[in-house]
């Protein structure tokens, strides 16, 4: 339950399910993450205890771990991993490898009306739901652009057809999946991430946001600090805007493995007082409400829930043209959609700073836009 878009989308969805009619069980790989305390009390939480032993063989190169086991004289385990991973790699289908890893994990006792493979490690969760959970119906969720990340087409072709429904979080994402695997056409449906602007607006009043005395233009980005989220593009864009003489500061909410790298880039560009890493925030909405411009610089997304949340406020938005961006932002009407590049972000922000009519028009249009996707939950009810 890390602080991230997928986890937030899950929490939003389960909070919309009528817990007087439905009993919800959340199965987790590990008890970890900043959103743990946000899980509603009416949800039953289970953990796959064996995952802590399997995790290294999923997240790290199995062949290296197998060689280490053999070197440590754990021959049976080492050769078992090596043989089954080699078969999976040769056939380009990880099913064999996951079957071996899960060989000692029992089938879950309860039978469910619906079992959902919601998050990742993606293929592992897919295999687990198909083979270790008894359910009348099963659904696969896809939160990403299948053309942009490591997507095992052969594994998907073999296993996705076993699901009753495949939900994708954007129209463009659905098209890309069907283009890749046409046979899934009848099973795939769009399920927009559930979001309530009334709730977000209320949460924006619960805490304080910016606590500095800066009186220029505040730019905000929210997201995990990783290459796919594109914060590196914003650092260079800010340096150029500062050189142009604009009185601006860029604030970034989030944490991730690129944090130290970004700190070094900021230091090298001598903008340590201008690009502020605020760290992770359970409630980023006061900052979204108080900023002057919101920027989503992602290289790829499935839909991008933080972009949707930013639309709940009337601050002009700049977003890169990732999958699903044009489904949320109407270019030059409710924001600016730019190329996925430093130049694209720089030019879009420069326009908003220079063209006050454009800035105010976008602000007014966002103020009148109604955003509420809570009715999406009916698609889940229909499936059950």
Same domain? For 177 and 127 the reply is: yes
The answer as to whether 174 is a domain residue is yes
**Residue 218 three-state SS:** strand
The answer as to whether 243 is a domain residue is yes
How many residues in total does the chain contain?
384
The answer as to whether 139 is a domain residue is yes
Cis peptide preceding 362, ω within 30 of 0: no
Alpha helices in the chain (DSSP H): 5-16, 51-59, 62-71, 75-91, 95-101, 122-132, 153-159, 171-180, 197-203, 231-243, 259-268, 285-290, 305-310, 325-328, 342-354, 356-368, 377-383
Please say whether the beta carbons of 334 and 369 come within 8 A. Answer: yes
Please name the helix (run of DSSP H) or strand (run of DSSP E) that holds residue 209, with its range, or none.
none
The answer as to whether 381 is a domain residue is no
The answer as to whether 383 is a domain residue is no
**Residue 7, C-beta contacts closer than 8 angstroms, at least 6 positions apart:** 1, 33, 35, 119
Same domain? For 144 and 214 the reply is: no
Report the CATH number at residue 282: 3.40.50.2000
Same domain? For 182 and 69 the reply is: yes
Report how far residue 348's alpha carbon sits from residue 222's, in angstroms, rounded to the nearest whole number. 18
Same domain? For 225 and 188 the reply is: no
Q: What is the DSSP letter of 9?
A: H
The answer as to whether 378 is a domain residue is no
Same domain? For 241 and 148 the reply is: no
Same domain? For 55 and 176 the reply is: yes
The answer as to whether 373 is a domain residue is no
Same domain? For 186 and 206 the reply is: no
The answer as to whether 380 is a domain residue is no
- Residue found by looking up tokens 């990880």 in the block: 94
Report how far residue 267's alpha carbon sits from residue 264's, in angstroms, rounded to the nearest whole number. 5
Residue where one domain finishes, among candidates 173, 195, 217: 195
**Residue 374 three-state SS:** helix
Which residue range(s) make up the domain with 69? 5-195
Identify the burial level of 59 via C-beta atoms within 10 angstroms of its C-beta, where 0-12 means exposed, 13-18 middle and 19 or more buried: exposed
Same domain? For 252 and 186 the reply is: no
pLDDT computed for residue 63 by the predictor: 83
**Residue 289, C-beta contacts closer than 8 angstroms, at least 6 positions apart:** 201, 204, 209, 313, 315
Same domain? For 117 and 224 the reply is: no
**Residue 115, C-beta contacts closer than 8 angstroms, at least 6 positions apart:** 129, 133, 134, 135, 137, 138, 139
Render each residue's pLDDT in the chain as its tens digit; 384 residues. 988 889 999 999 999 999 999 999 999 999 988 899 999 999 999 999 999 888 888 888 888 888 888 888 888 888 988 898 898 888 888 888 999 999 989 999 999 999 999 987 689 999 999 999 999 999 999 998 898 877 888 899 999 999 999 999 999 999 999 999 999 999 999 999 998 888 899 999 989 999 999 999 999 999 999 999 999 999 999 999 999 999 999 999 999 999 999 999 999 999 999 999 999 999 999 999 999 999 999 999 988 999 999 999 999 999 999 988 999 999 999 999 999 999 999 999 999 999 999 999 999 999 998 788 889 999 999 998
Q: CA gyration radius for the chain?
A: 22
Q: What's the structural domain count of the chain?
A: 2
Same domain? For 296 and 340 the reply is: yes
Identify the burial level of 41 via C-beta atoms within 10 angstroms of its C-beta, where 0-12 means exposed, 13-18 middle and 19 or more buried: exposed
Same domain? For 176 and 230 the reply is: no
* pLDDT tens string 134-151: 999 999 999 988 988 778
Report the CATH number at residue 116: 3.40.50
Same domain? For 88 and 230 the reply is: no
Please say whether the beta carbons of 87 and 76 come within 8 A. Answer: no
């Amino acid at each position: 339950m890390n602080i991230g878009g997928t986890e937030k989308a899950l929490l939003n969805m389960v909070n919309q399910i009528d817990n007087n009619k439905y009993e919800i069980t959340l199965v987790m790989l590990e008890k970890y993450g900043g959103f743990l305390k946000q899980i509603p009390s009416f949800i039953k939480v289970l953990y796959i205890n064996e995952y802590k032993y399997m995790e290294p063989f999923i997240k790290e190169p199995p062949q290296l771990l197998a060689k280490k086991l053999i070197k440590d004289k754990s021959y049976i385990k080492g050769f078992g991993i090596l043989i089954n991973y080699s078969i999976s790699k040769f056939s380009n289908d990880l099913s064999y490898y996951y079957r071996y890893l899960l060989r000692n994990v029992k089938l879950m006792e309860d039978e469910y009306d619906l079992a959902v493979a919601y998050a990742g490690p993606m293929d592992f969760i897919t295999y687990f739901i198909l083979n270790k959970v008894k359910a009348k119906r099963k659904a696969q969720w896809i939160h990403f652009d299948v053309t942009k990340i490591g997507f095992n087409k052969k594994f998907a072709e073999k296993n996705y057809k076993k699901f009753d429904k495949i939900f994708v979080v954007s129209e463009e994402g659905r098209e890309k999946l069907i283009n890749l695997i046409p046979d899934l056409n009848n099973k795939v449906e769009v399920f927009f991430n559930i979001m309530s602007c009334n709730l977000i607006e209320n949460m924006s009043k619960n805490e304080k946001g910016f606590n500095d005395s800066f009186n220029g233009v505040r730019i905000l980005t929210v997201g995990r600090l990783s290459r796919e989220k594109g914060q590196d593009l914003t650092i260079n864009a800010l340096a150029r805007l500062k050189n142009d003489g604009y009185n601006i500061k860029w604030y970034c909410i989030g944490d991730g493995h690129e944090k130290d790298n970004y700190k070094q880039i900021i230091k090298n560009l001598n903008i340590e007082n201008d690009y502020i890493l605020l760290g992770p925030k359970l409630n980023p909405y006061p900052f979204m409400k108080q900023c002057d411009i919101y920027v989503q610089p992602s290289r790829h997304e499935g839909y991008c829930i933080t972009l949707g949340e930013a639309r709940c406020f009337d601050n002009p938005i700049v977003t890169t043209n990732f999958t699903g961006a044009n489904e949320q932002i109407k270019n030059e009407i409710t924001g600016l959609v730019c190329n996925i590049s430093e130049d694209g972000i720089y030019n879009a922000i420069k326009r908003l700073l220079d063209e006050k009519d454009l800035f105010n028009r976008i602000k007014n249009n966002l103020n009148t836009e109604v955003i509420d996707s809570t009715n999406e939950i009916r698609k889940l009810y229909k499936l059950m």
